[in-house]
Structures are given as C-alpha cells and as structure tokens.
Chains A and B, each alone.
Chain A
Amino acid sequence: MNLNDLLVFLLALTGVGFLGITALGILRLPDLYTRMHAVAKPSTLGLSTLILATAIHDGHTLQIAKMLTLMVFFFLTTPVTIHLLARAAASTGLKPLEISAPLEAVKAACADEPQAAE
C-alpha cells in the first residue's frame, strides 16, 4: 500500500468518525445549546479532514488549492452559522438547561469542608 493511500485512508476515517460523533450528539443530547456544541466543533474538524483527504488523493495543484480554500471557508463559516442560530434561538426566549443541583451540592461540600477541619 502506498503511503499516500494510507494517509488518505486515515484522514477519511478520522473525518467519518467525527461526522458520526456529530450525528450521535445531535440525536442524544438533551438541549438545543448542547446540541449546537455537539454540532459546531466535530463537524468542522471532520469535514476538514475529509477535504484534506480528497486533496491528497487528487494530487493536482489546482484541486489542492481549491480544497485548501474550501477548508478555510469551513473554518470561517461553521462557527458563524452556529452563532447565528444560537442568537436566533436565544431571541425566541429559549432557556438553557438548568444544572443548578450539582452546583449546589459542590457549594455545600465546599462550605462543609473548613468546619470539618476546625
């Protein structure tokens, strides 16, 4: 197996794995904002590695230049899109998920600790 093919295979496998993580996250996470968090970063990395794999596999200079431009485009646009969606969702009055109960438990534990030391 050529080294080029091995590199293409590894990059494509990484990209597909990250896109699978994205799909799993959007299905399983409980809240809109956590779902956004699951979409934004793995999809950017996964698509970038897939596009890099395509560029390495193709080999022509023009296609590699196109693919690198497209990678920069993805790195610029995906966070912008998710930010626009989050702002729109916040303007409709959607509240984030409450996680106050574990925080209260941590605060209570921290308050108990000095008294126990004394």
Chain B
Amino acid sequence: MAVLRFILGPSQPDRAIAFEVIIIHIVGLIALYSIATNQSFLIDVIIVVSVLGFLSTSAIAKYIGKEGKNP
C-alpha cells in the first residue's frame, strides 16, 4: 500500500513519507524474520537499516525544503 502511495503520490513530500513508511515496514519485517528463524545477528541488521532510514529521510527533507526556497 505504501508502494502504491509512493508511485501515485501527488507531490514530492508524499513520496518522502511513503519512503519512510517503506523503511519502517522493512525494519519490522526483518524483526519478524529474526523471531521466526532464531537468527540473532539480524538485530545488527535492524540497527543499521533504521539508522540509514533516519539519515536518508532527513536528507530528503532538507533537499525538499531547499528546493522550496529556490524554485
């Protein structure tokens, strides 16, 4: 559903939010997979993916704001 919003979102911030939601769902899926298969090294993967998601979404937000100031 978030991918659908990512594809058809009317503006650029909509796509940024959809990207955030996709990252959150990926983190949740990795957590569920690590529960289901007893693989505890996936916890480190969760940490790295969440930090990457936070940094990339902040960068996208900064880019969108700058674009609004200089059209």
A residues lining the B interface (CB < 8 Å): 8, 12, 15-16, 19, 22-24, 26-27, 32, 35-36, 39, 43, 46-47, 50-51, 53-54, 57-58, 60, 63, 66-67, 70, 73-74, 77, 80-82, 84-85, 87-89, 91-94
Q: Give the residues in chain A near B50, CB-CB below 8 Å.
A: 70, 73-74, 77
Provided the pairs A24-B1, A32-B17, A43-B24 are in contact, do residues A88 and B62 lie with their beta carbons within 8 angstroms? yes
CB distance from B68 to the nearest CB of A (A): 4
In the complex formed, the residue of A with least CB distance to B25 is A19
Q: Which residue of A lies closest to B39 (CB)?
A: A58
A26 B1 Cβ-Cβ under 8 A:
yes
Question: Please, how many angstroms separate the alpha-carbon atoms of A74 and B50 in the complex?
Answer: 8
Q: Are A51 and B62 in contact (CB under 8 A)?
A: no
Measured CA separation A103–B52 after assembly (Å): 42
A51 near B31 with CB under 8 A, answer yes
Question: Contact between B28 and A27 (Cβ–Cβ < 8 Å)?
Answer: no
